């Protein structure tokens, strides 16, 4: 038991979107107080939490009230200035620490560090102008992927250049990260949590699909990959966690290239917080990523990451936009379409085109069936008319 503090643990979180909202669900179960920094009172988290600080991470007063009396500071997103974090580091533990978080904030710093560690990445270069870009393309060939090093998410800040001229207007904010266009067979994500004491637990590696650079479907475990590739992906993620001293949840997004015996992974990017590619763990694994993140940042023992149903697959489908004014009005249709095993999560956000409004996970021995049911539930939440996918399922509690 904590010998000094007499009140329940308080976890301060930078951010107030759906990730902090789902962290709050786990905090309630554990009797932990979650205190998010919400920019909008009616946002995904603002409308459900009891205690919160209001304002932006750039507002010193807001950050002050966020950390006052908190046990630890953690994150829902990485967009917080380094100076703010350095000042806070003297006040309370920050998990992950600013020295680790920098590799999730800055893609150039991440590429430099991973390359120094010998971790496989796409070929890359820092480019400052069109001439640099043309020189890089002379090596790797056009087209080239060009990324803004900081502040990107969901593909914002990721561009494709077919020639140096395409990039003429892109250099004003500063140097960019150029990468070869990887002809990947598929994308995967290795997810783990690590605590300050060094305990690490990895979940099974998942396959991820993106639509317009936004995560749309995640399937775990990634049974389509060779077991050796899955093992390699897990080992790479664990090595990154240890070398970079990451604490909390770490998601390592990867490209899978080659086939059969030549199948291998290249690291695309890092997120040091619960991540969309890990939402399946809430329903598919014994310990979900949000609970595990809380355990890790409070340096508590980590929970089991085994599948909740051994041998099953978990498929998560994102709800991206909806034709309905509020998808929660279609819960009945979604439950009928997805069947009794579909787990529906809605984030309480205002509907906008393409916006992440929720997700549905189905755990089933057959991944194709899980995908079909999860897709059917999501279609109903989008307001799309379609016949129900779920087979009639007599309630086992009803006499037949």
Per-residue binding string, ligand ADP, 34-73, x by CB under 6 A, is ----------------------------------------
User: Using an 8 Å Cβ cutoff, are 188 and 205 in contact?
Assistant: yes
Q: Which residues of 284-321 are buried (b: 16+ CB within 10 A; e: fewer)?
A: bbebbbbbbbbbbbbbbebeebebbeeebbbbbbbbbb
- Give the tokens for residue 100: 């680790």
Q: Least separation, in Å, of the C-beta of 140 and ligand ADP?
A: 10
Whose Cβ is closer to ligand ADP: residue 237's or residue 389's? 237
Nearest of 88, 108, 110, 107 to residue 98 by alpha carbon: 88
Q: Which of 187, 238, 333, 372 binds ligand ADP (CB under 6 A)?
A: 187
Q: Which of 82, 156, 165, 242 binds ligand ADP (CB under 6 A)?
A: 156
Q: Which residues of 93-131 are buried (b: 16+ CB within 10 A; e: fewer)?
A: bbbbbbebbbbbbbbbebbebbeeeebebbebbebeebe
Q: 78-137: which residues touch ligand ADP (CB under 6 A)? A: 122
List beta partners, residue 353: none
* Residue 186 lies near ligand ADP (rule: CB under 6 A): no
Cα(91)–Cα(37) distance, integer angstroms: 17
Cα(18)–Cα(76) distance, integer angstroms: 9
* Residue 213 lies near ligand ADP (rule: CB under 6 A): yes
> DSSP labels for 57-100?
TT-HHHHHHHHTT-SEEEES-S-S-HHHHHHHHTTS-BSS-HHH
Q: How many residues make contact with ligand ADP (CB under 6 A)? A: 19
* Residue 158 lies near ligand ADP (rule: CB under 6 A): yes
Which window, 17-25, 67-75, 155-163, 363-371, contacts ligand ADP (CB under 6 A)?
155-163
Q: Least separation, in Å, of the C-beta of 155 and ligand ADP?
A: 5
Whose Cβ is closer to ligand ADP: residue 11's or residue 80's? 80
Nearest of 277, 226, 290, 334 to residue 26 by alpha carbon: 290
Residue 336 makes CB contacts below 8 A (sequence gap 6+) with 380, 388, 390
* Residue 352 lies near ligand ADP (rule: CB under 6 A): no
Q: Which of 179, 238, 333, 372 binds ligand ADP (CB under 6 A)?
A: 179
Q: Least separation, in Å, of the C-beta of 220 and ligand ADP?
A: 17
Q: Which of 65, 115, 150, 210 binds ligand ADP (CB under 6 A)?
A: 210
Q: Which of 92, 182, 257, 308 binds ligand ADP (CB under 6 A)?
A: 182
Cα(7)–Cα(234) distance, integer angstroms: 37
Which window, 34-42, 154-162, 168-176, 353-361, contacts ligand ADP (CB under 6 A)?
154-162
Asked if residue 221 has a cis previous peptide bond (ω within 30° of 0), the answer is: yes
Q: Least separation, in Å, of the C-beta of 311 and ligand ADP?
A: 29
**CB-side exposure of 326: number of CA atoms within 13 Å?**
5
Q: Least separation, in Å, of the C-beta of 158 and ligand ADP?
A: 5
Q: Least separation, in Å, of the C-beta of 250 and ligand ADP?
A: 15
Cα(60)–Cα(120) distance, integer angstroms: 39
Whose Cβ is closer to ligand ADP: residue 69's or residue 354's? 354
Q: Least separation, in Å, of the C-beta of 160 and ligand ADP?
A: 8
Q: Which of 71, 95, 132, 269 binds ligand ADP (CB under 6 A)?
A: 269
User: Using an 8 Å Cβ cutoff, are 52 and 378 in contact?
Assistant: no
Q: Least separation, in Å, of the C-beta of 288 and ligand ADP?
A: 22
Cα(199)–Cα(126) distance, integer angstroms: 35
Q: Which of 98, 143, 155, 303 binds ligand ADP (CB under 6 A)?
A: 155
Cα(70)–Cα(290) distance, integer angstroms: 18
Whose Cβ is closer to ligand ADP: residue 155's or residue 321's? 155
Q: Which of 181, 257, 324, 335 binds ligand ADP (CB under 6 A)?
A: 181
Nearest of 202, 199, 133, 205 to residue 170 by alpha carbon: 133
Whose Cβ is closer to ligand ADP: residue 153's or residue 197's? 153
Which window, 4-12, 15-23, 179-187, 311-319, contacts ligand ADP (CB under 6 A)?
179-187
The count of other CB atoms within 10 Å of the CB of residue 86 is 12
| Residues in contact with ligand ADP by the rule CB under 6 A | 122, 145, 147, 152-158, 179, 181-182, 187, 210, 213, 253, 268-269
């Amino acid at each position: 038991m904590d010998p000094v503090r007499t009140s329940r643990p308080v976890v301060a979180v930078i951010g107030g979107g759906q990730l902090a909202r789902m962290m709050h669900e786990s905090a309630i179960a554990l009797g932990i107080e979650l205190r998010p920094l919400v920019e909008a009172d009616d946002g995904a988290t603002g409308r459900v939490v009891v205690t919160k600080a209001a304002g932006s991470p750039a507002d010193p007063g807001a950050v002050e009230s966020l950390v006052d009396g908190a046990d630890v500071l953690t994150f829902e997103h990485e967009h917080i200035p380094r100076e703010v974090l350095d000042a806070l580091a003297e006040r309370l533990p920050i998990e992950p620490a600013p020295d680790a978080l920098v590799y999730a904030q800055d893609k150039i710093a991440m590429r430099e560090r991973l390359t120094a560690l010998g971790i496989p990445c796409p070929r890359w270069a820092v480019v400052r102008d069109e001439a640099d870009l043309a020189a890089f393309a002379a090596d790797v060939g056009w087209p080239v992927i060009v990324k803004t090093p900081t502040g990107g998410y969901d593909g914002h800040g990721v561009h494709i250049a077919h020639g140096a001229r395409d990039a003429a207007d892109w250099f004003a904010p500063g140097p960019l990260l150029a990468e070869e266009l990887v002809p990947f067979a598929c994308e995967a994500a290795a997810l783990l949590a690590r605590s300050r004491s060094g305990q690490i637990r990895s979940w099974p590696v998942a396959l991820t699909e993106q639509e317009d650079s936004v995560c749309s479907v995640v399937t775990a475990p990634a049974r389509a990959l060779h077991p050796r590739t899955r093992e390699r992906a897990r080992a790479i993620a664990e090595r990154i966690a240890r070398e970079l001293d990451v604490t909390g949840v770490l998601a390592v997004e990867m490209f899978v290239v080659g086939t059969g015996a030549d199948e291998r992974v290249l690291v695309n990017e890092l997120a040091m917080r619960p991540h969309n590619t890990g939402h399946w763990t809430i329903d598919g694994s014994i310990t979900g990523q949000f609970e595990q993140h809380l355990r890790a940042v409070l340096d508590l023992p980590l929970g089991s990451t085994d599948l909740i149903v051994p041998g099953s697959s978990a498929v998560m489908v994102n709800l991206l936009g909806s034709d309905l004014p509020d998808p929660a009005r279609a819960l009945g249709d979604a439950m009928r379409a997805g069947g009794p095993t579909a787990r529906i999560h809605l984030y309480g956000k205002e509907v906008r085109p393409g916006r992440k409004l929720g997700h549905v996970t189905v755990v089933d021995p057959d991944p194709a069936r899980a995908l079909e049911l999860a897709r059917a539930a999501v279609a109903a939440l989008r307001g799309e008319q379609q016949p129900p996918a779920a087979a009639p399922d007599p309630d086992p509690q009803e006499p037949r």
